[in-house]
Structure 1
């Protein structure tokens, strides 16, 4: 199934697509990124009448869908928009794979998601600063980079062990100046800065949300 035109919205748990109608958008379709549904997100070739001419699309496939979904990102030159969306969708997907694989829960789960979210916001900021030079988005996103690097799985395992150690220290009783020490997750800190994350209704603002 090919989707275009419409509005694509990425959250910290899922991808939503709202097809464009005559005067409004259709009810959004949700493509989950948090559960283990054997998802595949990869670049795809598209073209008229089933031909494979244009390298400007992203394919999403999972066991919950009867057929893959292809989201097209038409542009006159290059495929920078497609590459950007491919990288940030994969970043959220890989973050949840990391969480599910190492069974990370609670505050440490929020920390992992916040790393992915803040990485995407950093890429957005760099795109605005260096609009003329194309960015290799996947090299600027932690979970994307670990997926590509040799031994990246070992890096993620070390990160999971560090998170577990930090959680053990946080849960151990201690006091400073007679008062207990409390840890605030970075996801909560991001929320305090004006961004709303942590639920399926939270969205990454433009350009992660916008019309195709």
Structure 2
């Protein structure tokens, strides 16, 4: 029988946490009860995986801590407790907590959700992600493409994730002038085949 081994790194993560220590301990004990999961640290947070595939991540923010289900969009969510962090998050969903009592009261519900997340992974289900071409290109970026065809070519050569990051970042600006300056700021980056955060 495979018994999930507590990771020393996760011990360290919880010990160092300035907030949510008790909540993490309680969530962890629930997660450790699933024998087929592996406990590790990914993206600097405790992550629970099944044969190398991410199932659920434990993380904390200023106002809440959460379990993040990597394929949460596929869960049935009978309790209506899964939260989409932002409108651009496609697959992941969170269950948020603000105190240990909530975790104690929801223990059986959480177990059911974790079990379903494991089943979803075992079944090989995937979230249908919106394709990059389904995101509208901001007018200001389109204008620049029309003025500089080489920029459009360079942009289309970027990975879909990098294209999306630019589109979302530029679109977020409320004023056209700001969108224009965002486009200008990254022209050279795009020409150099770089994503927004590439050095």
User: What TM-score, normalized to structure 1?
Assistant: 0.23
* Higher Cα radius of gyration: 2
User: What TM-score, normalized to structure 2?
Assistant: 0.25
Higher strand share: 1
